[in-house]
Chain A
């Protein structure tokens, strides 16, 4: 129709007779022609679309009939040639848990197989022992430098020897490889790790992740130079990710997650979980948050096992216990002597003062992850969490909400006062959040950390306020370190509180980000936990933190973490210590400041002969030395975030890891049986062992790409225009002739 407008335009002409001729020509010749052409054009394209839809119905009917059958026809090879079975046993004594983890790989195919299994562990786990068992043969693994271990493993694999390699990809993500499993054979890899028990709000807990939410890999894929090609080949059996400029090891941190299974099906990755629990204290309650367990009690010792014996590894296992009222320990020291060195794990709980409240007005920024991995129950939990927190805002508080997936968007341009009007609008905003797209966490986080000062025109007192960021996410990203760097660099006076959502969150990210952000971390794994957990978090937010915590040491004592993080209500100081070659004696002083008031506690260290008066610090605790070494490695790696020289850090970490025989980013466990078992000539089939799909997570989907060019349309339009001009010429010629 634009063409017609063009034709009308030259109407104000000088000669009236000419303009009449033109109009006549326009109305009787050109317009009908254009109209006819348009009609022909639209009819043509419409008929194409219509026939397309008819065809579509036909083809999809076909597809659902014959095609579907073909998908499952004989001859297709099964995806997973390796089945797994997992056994976990927790031996918990005081604040120290020693965990035995057995992964059994069963080759169900008729070929020799290499299995690759990427699996999660707690982010604080000190993995200190590995052995490989085949039938009644046992090979004990040794800690080697990462490259060296890899080389030995590959060599043994090529030679046809049975071998196993365990590498750390992230503090909470590891890869097991088992080479040369005979058809029908079972090979077991046993790991032992130590971790400290979580103690908060008078309750103890232990978390064991069993599967993972696939991490989102931000950034543009990078070119792989020769060095990278050698050290981290893109291995499709290990992971689905390709390296990007932000996550260079993407291939190693993206293990496969299996499709969802029907509830009736037998578990894909069955696990047997048992625990024995001895706190040396009378307990009021022992429970498991997401699994049904059976308890047996013998004095103060509890044994825990799963009801039904086995569970699918589709969510975190969390054991939770609580001492009787008034029985909460305030101070505890666990010690161990290894190679003439004395190690300790110290816990001091500052007194609770619930009456002190934050007087300053607050600015609370909610950052909500609405990426695709949050789809399912997680997004509901996240929405409910924000909704609960909004209800708890005071009228003097300011707030804003940022949601992020592939992009991020803010509810308000700047933080608004939590009046009923603004809170109601926010509730509506939250109700409409939906989970889809990527996890571009960095821009959202930067936006939250960058604080445009609250408009102080309506309230000058607001200039000084507490800035708290509540970050609600499953943490399923691959660029954790870059995020830590930014948090450390831009935190300023803000405080970052993380809330881990879903059945298999990246707990290490939650904890570390909160540590660096000088806040706390909270886990929400089920919708019915939201109320209680958010109440607890919000009460933490309303009370002043204990800062400047220091412990008086003799010079010989090496304590990790180096700087005690800020403490919120009902959180203890937990330090890993090395006392040197003499056992600890005397007293030490713990000091801190809360809301301007200083606090001091004197802890008398136990004489090695006589136990102290406080709830008994249990001596001779196996695992304390490993915990100290693990804390030191973590502390050293944290210095990298703050800009220390990576090579120097690597050397120091290597030293600790090799001395204490621990898994680390730079050291791996490798076990090789010195017998050639795979006959020459029989190939080795490589197989990924997928993790179970996280409980309650919606299927991962993405949109179909756009797969047509504008070429045909342009061609048609071009030809049509030429046709119109040609017709016009012809008509005019006829008009003249007549």
Chain B
């Protein structure tokens, strides 16, 4: 007669399973955080190298499906991150991403950069109107923007309108910042208007030391 395990053992097995599952979940959450924290270091190196050489893009690691196209700085909330090309999930896992369908910074229209609310763009919660944003790269130039509008939009009922928008920089992240669900409809949208042309940048830099 096949001996069935005792009930106590079943409880133990079940408990063990639950503990393992729980640890696995916590571990994967940690992995997401770790990827988000470590990747920008590698990407920063790639960006520094691509600034030196005229060759672009330089991939941060050989199998990467994205690469840095610029650098975003919001000094008031200590955001200082390389910007990646693309806005799909596998890009945003490593850093804020530039939406290829939006305009290049310095051109006419919106430049859209998105980031995850629980990693890279978490500090956006503390950004206030009138604060400075600096974007470096794409074409090698440095541009200054000033936050002029912060909104929460419902992504189910509203889309990014690149045609009818004022020129500037749009930083997009999810909202609310402490929600659990990753598929919520709300987005926290920070609009920064172009502040100065390149030629005036040196004067501005003196008054806003980055």
Q: How far is the CB of A672 from chain B (nearest CB, A)?
A: 23
A732 touches B11 (CB 8 A): yes
Q: Which B56-112 residues sit within 8 Å CB-CB of chain A?
A: 56-57, 59, 67, 85, 87-89, 92-93, 97, 99-109
A424 touches B (CB below 8 Å):
no
List the A side residues contacting B32 at CB < 8 Å.
Answer: 709-711, 714
- Measured between beta carbons, the chain B residues less than 8 angstroms from A13 are 4, 7
Give A702 to B110 CA distance when docked, in angstroms.
12
Question: Known contacts being A52-B186, A714-B29, is A704 close to B159, with CB within 8 Å?
Answer: yes
Q: Within 8 Å of chain A (Cβ to Cβ): is B172?
A: yes
Q: Is the CB of B193 within 8 A of A49?
A: no
Of A18, A53, A718, the residue contacting B26 (CB under 8 A) is A718
Known: A236-B105, A706-B183, A721-B22. A728 touches B15 (CB 8 A): yes
Cβ-defined partner of A52 (8 Å) among B92, B109, B176: B176
Set B7, B21, B139: member contacting A10, Cβ < 8 A: B7
From known contacts A70-B129, A705-B87, A706-B174, infer whether A256 and B181 are also in contact, taking CB-CB under 8 Å.
Answer: no
Q: Min CB distance, B107 to chain A, in Å?
A: 4
**A55, A242, A701: the one within 8 Å of B159 (CB):** A701
Considering only CB atoms and an 8 Å cut-off, how many residues of chain B contact the other chain? 96
Chain A nearest CB from B183 CB (Å) reads: 7
B54 & A702 in contact (Cβ 8 Å cutoff): no
**Chain B residues in 8 Å Cβ range of A59:** 150-152
Is there contact, CB below 8 Å, between A233 and B116?
no
Interface centre among B10, B28, B29 (most CB of A within 10 A): B29
* Highest count of chain A CB atoms <10 Å: which of B104, B139, B148, B178: B104
Q: Which B residues touch A3, using CB under 8 A? A: 18
With contacts A76-B193, A256-B103, A715-B29 taken as known, whether A704 is within 8 angstroms of B108 at the C-beta atoms is: no
Cβ B174 vs Cβ A236 within 8 A: no
Residues of A within 8 A of B114 (CB): 704-705, 707
Instruction: Pick from A48, A79, A229, A256: contact of B54, CB below 8 A.
Output: A229
- Report A291-305 CB contacts with B as 1/0, cut-off 8 Å: 000000000000000
Query: Which of A51, A221, A690, A701 has a CB less than 8 Å from the CB of B108?
Result: A690
Provide the residues of chain A in CB contact with B27, threshold 8 Å.
718
B176 & A715 in contact (Cβ 8 Å cutoff):
no
Residues of A179-230 whose CB lies within 8 A of B = 221, 223-226, 229-230
**Interface residue? A22 (CB, 8 A):** yes
Query: Considering the chains assembled together, what is the distance between the CA atoms of A10 and B14 in angstroms?
Result: 11
Q: Quick one: CB contact mask for A1-42 with B, threshold 8 Å, 1 for yes?
A: 001001100100110001101100000000000000000000
Interface string of B113-139 (1 = CB under 8 A from A): 011111101000000011000000011
Interface contact A688-B107, CB-CB below 8 Å = yes
Cβ of A226 and Cβ of B55 under 8 Å apart?
Answer: yes
Q: How far is the CB of A66 from chain B (nearest CB, A)?
A: 7
Per-position binary interface string of chain A over residues 687-729, scored 1 when its CB falls under 8 Å from any chain B CB and 0 otherwise: 0101001000001111111111111111111111110110011
Residues of A within 8 A of B10 (CB): 10
- B206 touches A (CB below 8 Å): no
**Interfacial residues of chain B within 140-156, with CB under 8 A of chain A in the complex:** 148-155
Complex CA distance for A699 and B109, rounded to whole angstroms: 13
Given pairs A71-B193, A725-B22, 5 additional interface contacts (CB within 8 A): A48-B179, A49-B181, A52-B179, A711-B32, A711-B118
